Structure 1
Amino acid sequence: MQLTKHRRRPRLELRLRHHPDNLHALYRESQDPVERARWHAIWLLATGHSIPQVAQILGYSTRWVRMVIQRYNRDQPLADLRHRNPGQPPLLTPELQEAFRQALLQPHPRDGLWTIRNAAQWLSERLGRPVDPRRAWAWMKRLGFAPLRPRPRHREGEPERQEGFKKTSSSSSSC
């Protein structure tokens, strides 16, 4: 059986497009911490540090430094693009949020109480598409509303006997 030698990674060369002084300026002026660390790594590499030295100085792995070099060589942005993703716009515009709040303050037109299903139906009519009751409930909570439900009662409970257990302010006992 023949043993194979461990293959070394191919040598990774930094293809400089900037003067080291310019790299230092880019590193110092960067506001984004991820971009700043990447420019710092490129600047250190351009000034003669090796990949393991840069990894040790910056506290990152050699793999991370190699990925930064590859990014720089491919002319990819060094900034962290995750911070620029605004996400999906909210379901309700500020005007519709206020209209929903005002509607919830009034009794429901059909039965007087706003249930989650009633709220989902109201939102569906305004938005022109179906709205899941869970989404309506999330918006009700976000606007500061809570469901109105009576306290649970036992099916076999006797109201007359339960009255005897209620606390009243006049029957306070002193020990």
Structure 2
Amino acid sequence: MDLTKHQRRPRLELKLRHHPDNLHALYRESEDPVERSRWHAIWLRFGAPAPQMNRATGHSIPEVAQTLGYSTRWVRDTLHRYNKGKPMADARHQNPGQPPLLPPELQEAFRQALLQPHPRDGVWTIRNAAEWLSERLGRPVDPRRAWNWMKRLGFAPLRPRPRHRDRDFEEGEAFKKNSSSPFSS
């Protein structure tokens, strides 16, 4: 709905399906905080007394927004939701989400495989784990995803600490023996 600069929004008419007393009961009995806020807004708009405005019932949309701490847009959207008969509850809580990448039986197989030495080189690297998962799932698996699953199952990739390629092993050992550490006794 495009409004020109000086045009007002059309008046929002409510298709009241509940008695104002029932709106108050729905608001007070709701346990879901989102649903409770929505019922509260509807009750304030069409059921709550507003004596300062000399009206028998109902506050204006800006008054409801200020009372609840929401924007007038949120109040209007809530009223539209009520008019369309949509549920007042927050549907995000009912979304189970996407199933995990690894089903429970494959998780256990992966855990058992990680307990054994890797068949090719004896060490489970992140790339080895990603290849193993790719073979079982039948699609490519990113090494970062394999790393996440290794951590989730309590494992870490094994690799030696980096060493300088030009180091002298004997010189390092001699340094260790001759250096005095404040922690040695």
Query: TM-score by structure 2 length?
Result: 0.81
Q: For the residues of structure 2 that align with 1:101 and 1:5, how far apart are their CA atoms?
A: 64
1-side partners of 2:28 and 2:86: how far apart? 19
Aligned residues: percent identity?
81
Q: Which residue of 2 aligns with 1:9?
A: 9
Alpha-carbon distance in structure 2 between the residues aligned to 1:11 and 1:51: 11
TM-score, normalisation: structure 1: 0.86
Count of aligned pairs:
170
Q: Distance in 1 between matches of 2:168 and 2:115?
A: 35
- Aligned residue identity for 2:9: R
Distance of aligned partners of 1:167 and 1:50 in 2 relative to their CA distance in 1, 3 Å threshold: farther
Q: Which residue is 1:121 aligned to?
A: 131
Change (3 A) 1:118 1:162: same
RMSD: 2.3
Structure 1 counterpart of 2:18, one-letter code:
H
Question: Displaced runs of 4+ in structure 1, greater than 3 A?
Answer: 171-175
- What are structure 1's unaligned runs of at least 5 residues? none
Unaligned 5+ segments in structure 2 are 48-57
Of residues 32-41 and 77-86 in structure 1, the stretch that sits farther from structure 2 once superposed is 77-86
**Relative CO higher for 1 or 2, CA cutoff 8 Å, sep ≥ 6?**
1
Q: Which residue of 2 aligns with 1:131?
A: 141
Q: Partners in 2 of 1:129 and 1:5 — Cα distance? A: 55
Partner residue, 1:38: 38
Q: Using the alignment, how far apart are the partners of 1:119 and 1:6 within structure 2?
A: 64
**2 CA distance for matches of 1:147 and 1:126?**
19
